[in-house]
Structure formats: structure tokens, C-alpha cells
Amino acid sequence: MSDLFKAPKGTYDVVPPFSQLWLAVKDALSTPPRLAGYGYIETPLFEDTALFVRGVGESTDVVSKEMYTFNDRGDRSLTLRPEGTAGVLRAILENRLDRAGLPVKVWYTGANFRYEQPQSGRYRQHTQVGVEAIGSSDPALDAEIIWMAIHSQRTILGLKNIRLLVNSLGCHQCRPAYRELLTAFLGTLELDEATQERILLNPLRVLDDKREHVRALLEDAPLMPDHLCAECCEHHNLVLHFLDLLGVEYELAPRLVRGLDYYVRTTFELIHTGLGAQSAIGGGGRYDGLVETLGGPALAGVGFGLGVDRTCLAIQAEGITLPASNPLLAFLIPIGEGALEICLPLIGALRINGACVDMAFDSRSLKASMKSADRSGAKFAVIVGEDEIKNHTAVIKNLLSGEQTSVPLDLVEEMLTK
């Protein structure tokens, strides 16, 4: 036999039983937007490369180092989406959703691709549940978005060790002056060459440096929240006030700068304290101006992306067990000739009525089939053998207690669902 193929580096398969957790997490993360009137949107996995270059920003690591870009057979430059926002905005504009009333509120889920150095929690294909709300500058919308992100993680999934960091990055009016101030400050420090280059690209990103000695140097750096214009200051204060009204616990994080260039004003990140280096399980913020950058009208926007992979890791790190979404009610065991004729219609009827039912295949022995029933996690085994066929009955065995009873065939469904 030749060597088996392996999933590409930095990717993994979502297989049972882990896939149950995966689906439960996706379901939990998308519950708040579904309840808050966000419509579902799905966009292609690949887009014109230029969309991401313009939408995510050329100076970001995502665009400059991490994109999966290729030319198709028609010589178009295409890129596997590294994140969801740019494609969703393109789709909103292309489908003119913004003309049918504002704000346009949508949610999405799907894979994203970034050529990163793989490690625990950092993959080359990762999945997000995200939302975007376009066409409103209302700080109540920022608060709604932040509340949805934290509500799914803290309340629906029950994660305890999450910190919510909130900051304001100012706007296109007040940030340039702050940027100059920060650049001047950074110019007085002795920093390595790579950091000097980052200053040229985006000095704010230096504030996010994780190295202890750099952090010490940055102790007295000017911070954006102290240099907001009056409008940004009012917006920020209102967002925080609304979060208080919603009972959301947060921390002010004046050094929080996210890795994508489009953010203005509100930015936030959810950090799980049990995940080591890849601790961000979600993040988002406002991106007023981005729709215009993509060729659309001057519409404000705000959204988030929550990492499904890292949220699963966080659940495992906290030892949380989520209830199975579809627990198996019964496992049917047909034994001998004529048993399938009885079992198949019974399974059909049970499934039509919404019960979760599996059965033994391949005419295996009772012993082997009972093993499969135990492994399946079903509550009951239903055995139909020679005697049962003769008597028009079935044996229902409670797989937890071991108790078993013989039941007339026409009462099996009622007994199981009772």
C-alpha cells in the first residue's frame, strides 16, 4: 500500500466526535445575530485579489505575507479569502442591499485562509462566525455587536476565562495627528530594525508588541484615547455607557490595535486566558470609510469575527461539556429473515416524527449488534428477531439500566417517545 495522504500543513479535519462540539459552537456563536435580525449571507471562498489588497490594507501582515493568491486559467489574480469583511461588503454593494434600507445587518460563517506559521490555535485554514452592520454610526450598534460577541461566549457557551478588551482608535480626522505624535515618540527610542520598519508602515501596531523590553520602552507612549476628537470621544463614551446598560463586563485597553487596517473608533477583542499565545478568540470593530474605499457610498460599518477553532479549544481548556444536539434515542437491531421488513418502516416512522434513530447493518450477530448499540450512545436498543416476528412484538432494552421488555409492534413508537 502506498503512503496515505495527509491534510495539508496547518489544516485539520473536523471529525466525530469532535465535530459535535464544532457544530454546537457554530450554533452558539450565530444564535445572537439570528435573534437580533441579522440576515444570513454567504459569499465565494475566493475573490479578486485587489478586493483584499484594498479592503484589508497593503501594510497588514495578512495581505503582505499571508494570502493564498493564484492566477486562474483565464489569468485573473484570485485570492482565497483571508477574512470575511471585504467579501461581505463587496456582496452587499453588488447586490444593492444598501438600497433597501439601512442599516444592512448580516451574519456569516465559513473558512478563511492565511499562510501563517502553524501552531496550536493558529492554522492555515480557520473558521469564523462573523457579523457586519452597514450604514449606521449609532454607538448603540457598536454595543449591540460587542454584546452579541460576548453573550454567545460567556452565557450560551458558559466560558468563564474571557477578557473583553475595548478601545477607540479615533477617526480619519483625529488619528493622523496622533499618529505623528506617536511616530515622534517612537523616534526617541532605540528599537530594532524590524520594529523601525513597522513604524513606517503603521506606528500604532508597535503598541501591540508583546516583548517585555519593548513594552517597558513604550510605558510613556502617547495613547489614542487621550487624543480623540470631540466626536470620537463622545462616541466612545456612549459605547461604554451602553455596554454598562447591557451589563457587559469589559476592560479599557488603550494599546489595543488590531491587525487589520480598516478599523476606526471602536475596536475590541475577546481574549481567553487559557490558550497561551493564540489567545484571541474573536475581535472586531468599526470601519467607517471602508465601504467607500471599496468603491461604494460613504456608509459606516461595524462588525466582528469570532474564531470557531479557538472557541472549541477554549471550551476544551475549561473542560466544558455541551449537551449533544441530537442524542440518539434508539438503535434498531434486525435479526434474521423478515426482520428488516419490520425495522425499516419503523425507523422511517420514528425519523419522520423527529426521533434520532440508527440501526445495525450487514446482518451481524445479536452480540455484535448489541456492541454497536452500546457504542452508539443510544438510550434504547430495539431488537426484532425470529420470536418477535412471530408474535408481532419487539424487545426494547434500556441501555443504561439494562432493563428490557417485550412490546407489541404497534406500541414501540409510543413507548420510545413517551
User: Where along the sequence are the contacts to ligand HAM (CB under 6 A)?
Assistant: 83-85, 114, 116, 121-123, 126, 128, 130, 132, 258-260, 280-285, 303-305, 307, 309-310
Q: Which of 169, 153, 170, 145 is nearest to 271 (CA)?
A: 153
CA–CA distance, 88 with 248 (Å, rounded to integer): 28
Any alpha helices (H) in 155-285, and if so which ranges?
175-187, 193-201, 212-217, 230-245
121 vs 203, beta carbon nearer ligand HAM: 121
Centroid of chain to Cα 164:
16
Closest distance to ligand HAM from the beta carbon of 378 (Å): 35
Residue 381: what are its φ and ψ, rounded to 5°?
Answer: -105, 140
Closest distance to ligand HAM from the beta carbon of 270 (Å): 7
Helix, strand, coil percentages, rounded to 5, for the chain: 40, 20, 40
CA–CA distance, 173 with 5 (Å, rounded to integer): 53
Closest distance to ligand HAM from the beta carbon of 326 (Å): 27
CA–CA distance, 170 with 130 (Å, rounded to integer): 23
CA–CA distance, 155 with 304 (Å, rounded to integer): 18
- In single-letter form, the type of residue at position 299 comes to L
311 vs 369, beta carbon nearer ligand HAM: 311
Closest distance to ligand HAM from the beta carbon of 142 (Å): 11
Closest distance to ligand HAM from the beta carbon of 38 (Å): 12
CA distances from 179 to 55, 65, 186, 224, 359 (A): 21, 24, 10, 9, 66
33 vs 203, beta carbon nearer ligand HAM: 33
Closest distance to ligand HAM from the beta carbon of 298 (Å): 18
32 vs 283, beta carbon nearer ligand HAM: 283
40 vs 361, beta carbon nearer ligand HAM: 40
135 vs 285, beta carbon nearer ligand HAM: 285
